Each structure stands twice: as C-alpha cells, then as structure tokens.
Homo-oligomer: A and B are copies of this chain.
C-alpha cells in the first residue's frame, strides 16, 4: 500500500502528507496489536474449556456479582436469548449455576461455582503475567510515553462517541 502521495506539493504540505503516512503507520501498528492480542487471548482461553463469549460472560459476572440474565444481557450489550445460550453452556461445563431469585420468581441468579471462581482468578493471574512480559523490559520513559499516547487515543475515541458501557 501507500503509493504515497507526498510530493506534488511545494512548501509545507509535505508536512501534511508525511503526517498522513505516519498516522497510517501508527494505525497499522494499533490494528496489528489489536489482532495479535485478540488472537493470543482466545488461544489461551480454549485451554480452559472456555470459549471467548463464555469467558466474556464470566468476566461480566465477576463485575456484577450474582444477577439475573437480563442484567448480563444489558451489560454485555447482547440479546437476552444469547445470554440464555451462553449460560446453558457455562452450566453444562460447570462454571456457573442458575439459582432461583428470591425476589422474582421469573428470574434466575447466575452464580459462580467454585470452578468458575477459580477460572476467573486464573485468568486474572494470566493477565498479570502477560502484563509483566509485555512491559517489564521496557524503559520507564517509553512505558510512560506509551500510556500517555494510549490515554490520548482513548480520550479521542471517547470524544468521538466510542466508549465502553460501564
């Protein structure tokens, strides 16, 4: 890509074209990182008998505590029907249980089993280890620069209306 159109300008637009190319290169890096991190997470996941979506549900459940499926659906921004399916799978594999809700006989409370709790703790620990692997060898000022840049980008995305719900 990038039969880049610098040139064709005279005094200062070279700056603009150079910026554009630099932006493209930076965005390429971000997207590549996106793909690599995603792939790595998903690869590690299935070792535990967990699929990406089910893991995401577990993660959400950890944040919410025992709760009805509707709350999970809202938090994950997926349909209640999909939550039913994911919880089905997690119940079948022993990560959560459906407990009757004391307050509402229509609802169930999705609740961690000990295995589910252990799985989430394990994921947390893996993430800590991964953070160490990624950043421990990085010079401190470069690390600080990275975090500042990421914050800037996240702030920009937030301003553009792209945000995570919570």
Contacts and interface: CB of A to CB of B under 8 A. Distances in A.
Interface of A: 1-4, 19-20, 22-27, 29-41, 124-125, 127-138, 142-154, 156-157, 160, 162-164
A153 B132 contact: no
Contacts of A149: 138, 142-143, 145-147, 149-150
Main secondary structure on A side of the interface with B? helix
Contact of A127 (B27, B32, B157, B163): B27
28 contacts: A1-B124, A22-B135, A23-B131, A24-B128, A26-B146, A26-B147, A26-B150, A27-B127, A27-B134, A29-B151, A30-B33, A30-B37, A31-B41, A32-B154, A34-B34, A36-B157, A36-B163, A39-B162, A133-B160, A134-B153, A138-B149, A142-B149, A145-B145, A145-B146, A145-B148, A146-B149, A146-B150, A149-B149
A138 to B, nearest CB: 5
A22 B138 CA distance: 12
B30 A125 contact: no
A135 to B, nearest CB: 5
A19 B147 CA distance: 13
Most chain B beta-carbon contacts within 10 A, residue among A25, A38, A153: A153
A80 to B, nearest CB: 20
A164 B135 CA distance: 20
A142 B143 contact: no
Nearest to A139: B152
Contact of A156 (B27, B137, B156, B163): B137
